Amino acid sequence: MKLRKGLLALLVLILLITTLTAEIKVKTAKDFIADAKAVVKEISVEEAFKIYKSKDSKYIFLDVREANEVEAGHIPNAHWIPRGLLEFKIASLVKNTEDKIIVVYCKSGGRSILAAKTLKEMGYNVLSVSGGFTAWKNKRYPIRRGLPGTTGGGCS
């Protein structure tokens, strides 16, 4: 009986030590982006341009870059909410989530896919532009300088 209790105690101790010393995997930005790509639809810059040219009011272009990036150039008529303020400001931009599709872009696609995942989790219909503003500019699609219609600024 004492031998069983001793073996059981030893087994519990070994399991505890193994659990406590197990290597903890830290998620990287690439991990988060891969997770987001699994649940958010990405569109090419060409598809984004077709949507832009259609002028269909159900689509809202949303730039999630920082102010200095946006001032240097953005998609005309796009709205701007920096990624860090997205959760606080999106409701002031999109009132009816069923009728609108938010086309999210950033510089190259990383921030926009993460922002799109957040918006999707909040209940919005979203698309993320693969390649972002860099791809848009490289295609020589229309751009505008200065800040667009903004909802950037302090937290709610």
Which pLDDT tens digit goes with each residue over 138-152? 999 999 998 875 554
Give the domain CATH number at 110.
Answer: 3.40.250.10
**Position 53 in a domain:** yes
Per-residue pLDDT for 84 more than 50?
A: yes
* Residue 7, pLDDT score: 62
More confident residue, 107 or 97: 107
Q: Which of 48, 78, 94, 106 is catalytic?
A: 106
Say if 102 falls within a structural domain. yes
Burial pattern 34-63, b for ≥16 Cβ within 10 A else e, equals eebbeebebbebeebbebbeeeeeebbbbb
Instruction: For residue 127, give the amino acid letter.
Output: L
**How many domains does one find in the chain?**
1
Q: Is residue 94 part of a domain?
A: yes
pTM exceeds cut of 0.75: yes
Is 156 among the domain residues? no
Residue 95 lies in a domain: yes
Q: Which residues pair with 125 in a beta bridge?
A: 101
Q: Is 106 a catalytic residue?
A: yes
Residue-range definition of the domain harbouring residue 113 = 29-150
With respect to residue 11, please indicate whether it lies within any of the assigned structural domains. no
